[in-house]
Amino acid sequence: MGRVLKLISASIFLILTWAGCPSDWQEVSGSICYYPGTVQITFPQVKLACHSVGGSPAMITDALLNTVIQQYAQFTLGVDQAWIGVEQVDGGYWAYADDAHTNLTYMKWANNEPNNQNYCAAMNSSTGGYWMTRDCSTQLNYFCTRPTTPDVSTTESPLTIPQGNCDQNWKQFSGYCYYLHNFTTLQDGQHWDLFNFTDAEAICETMNSTLASIHNDAENQFLYDLVISNAAGEDDKAYGHPCDWAPAWIGMMHTPDPNGTHWVDGTPVDFCDYPDGCIIAEMYNCGFLIHNDVSCFPTDPKRWSWWVIRAHYSRFVCKKLAMPTNADGFFHGIGYE
């Protein structure tokens, strides 16, 4: 575990930065922009409206984006339902409503959905963001999505943190890749699968990573965005206690003898977002968790907590170094010792 990362970068290279999102759009995880439609229109009109602002009807590709849109619809727009970019196409299958009818890579259908009576999909924000089919002529609010805008420039720097690439289902931030093991269910198809701290770290290690360390407020806010959830109301999946089991393990661990706190990846403890500090008085080995759930904690949704490492929770976050962007030496000198 005691691994120290050393990084030596080339002095001159091409830097790819992300210029962000256009006016009136919101950014998610540094790579996706979403646009909330504040008027109610039909699904065919949504396609035209999204194209007119440079996007497509919302292509929801992961749980993070689904939750962000669900919470915006419920708490900002104040609506129960909104159009998303999913429709039934020739052949009877469901696809994204972009020009290519891209295959769905993420789905959150409600029970008994989709049905064959309607051909357009909406999100129900009041039931946790589950998808439902609607008559395409129904007038609803809507969401569009588009990628963030790249800005490529050449610069000179003696030491620059490369951004690199991440595996599928991992999110990139400041030279590292992060994986949220989100809510999964047991073989019964109903209840959440749960993991103790040791289980979570072992799973991260199978992906050449560790439970995530956090070293500054920017990284902390990125993880808050990554783990955003809307667990209240999921009683059936969490044996009646969804807010207790929804947090995600991170890589901070407390040991009682000697009394101290450390990151499991061996990096220094130079940041803490627990109100009472991260050196705790506890006689058992404990791990730290991160939450962001306004449905469970309306006045303080973003928080860290801790509990004994044998306790079980539904989620965890892994972290590893981003892969080199190419083979021309930008990542020369990267390794562990």
Neighbours of 219 (CB within 10 A): 18
Residues 183, 317 within the same domain = yes
Both structure tokens of 58:
């919302």
pTM here is: 0.52
CB 225 within 8 A of CB 217: no
Q: Are strands 248-256 and 286-292 parallel, antiparallel or unpaired?
A: antiparallel
Residue 161 is predicted with a pLDDT of 42
d(CA 294, CA 306): 19
Q: Is residue 337 situated within a structural domain?
A: no
d(CA 157, CA 225): 30
Burial of 274 (0-12, 13-18, 19+ CB in 10 A): middle
Number of domains in the chain: 2
Q: Is residue 4 situated within a structural domain?
A: no
Residues 262, 115 within the same domain = no
Residues 259, 300 within the same domain = yes
Domain boundary among 147, 180, 198: 147
Residues 175, 309 within the same domain = yes
Residues 136, 193 within the same domain = no
Domain residues for 72? 20-147
Q: Are strands 176-181 and 81-88 parallel, antiparallel or unpaired?
A: unpaired
Residues 180, 141 within the same domain = no
Nearest to 317 by CA among 129, 83, 13, 64: 64
pLDDT digits (tens, 9 = 90+) for 167-221: 888 999 888 899 999 888 777 667 788 899 999 999 999 888 999 999 999 999 9
Residue 184 is predicted with a pLDDT of 84
Residues 288, 177 within the same domain = yes
Residue with tokens 């999110």: 171
Q: Is residue 302 situated within a structural domain?
A: yes
Residue with tokens 């669900």: 70
Neighbours of 11 (CB within 10 A): 9
Q: Is residue 8 situated within a structural domain?
A: no
Domain boundary among 147, 180, 205: 147
Residue 19 is predicted with a pLDDT of 53
Residues 115, 173 within the same domain = no
Cβ-based neighbours of 188, under 8 Å, separated by 6 or more: none
The CATH number that applies at residue 101 is 3.10.100.10
Cβ-based neighbours of 227, under 8 Å, separated by 6 or more: 180, 247, 248, 290, 291, 292, 315, 317
Q: Is residue 117 situated within a structural domain?
A: yes
Q: Is residue 69 situated within a structural domain?
A: yes
Residue 88 is predicted with a pLDDT of 92
Residues of the chain scoring pLDDT < 50: 1-18, 151-163, 326-337
CB 238 within 8 A of CB 231: yes
Residues 233, 270 within the same domain = yes
Residues 192, 278 within the same domain = yes
d(CA 128, CA 241): 16
pLDDT digits (tens, 9 = 90+) for 125-168: 998 899 999 999 999 999 999 998 764 443 443 434 444 588 88
Residues 62, 193 within the same domain = no
Q: Is residue 219 situated within a structural domain?
A: yes
Q: Is residue 266 situated within a structural domain?
A: yes
Give the 3-state DSSP-derived string for the chain, with helices as H, strands as E and coil as C.
Answer: CCCCEECCCCCEEEEEEECCCCCCCEEECCCEEEEEEEEEECHHHHHHHHHHCCCEECCCCCHHHHHHHHHHHHHHHCCCEEEEEEEECCCCCEEECCCCCCECCCCCECCCCCCCCCCEEEEEHHHCCEEEEECCCCCEEEEEEEECCEEEEEEECCCCCCCCECCCCCEEECCEEEEEECCCECCCCCCECCECHHHHHHHHHHCCCEECCCCCHHHHHHHHHHCCCCCCCCCCCCCCCHHHHCCEEEEEEEEECCEEEEECCCCCCCCCCCCCCCCCCCCCCEEEEEEECCCCCCCCCEEEEEEECCCCECEEEEEEECECCCCCCCCCCCEEC
Residue 306 is predicted with a pLDDT of 94
Domain boundary among 91, 118, 147: 147
Residues 104, 202 within the same domain = no
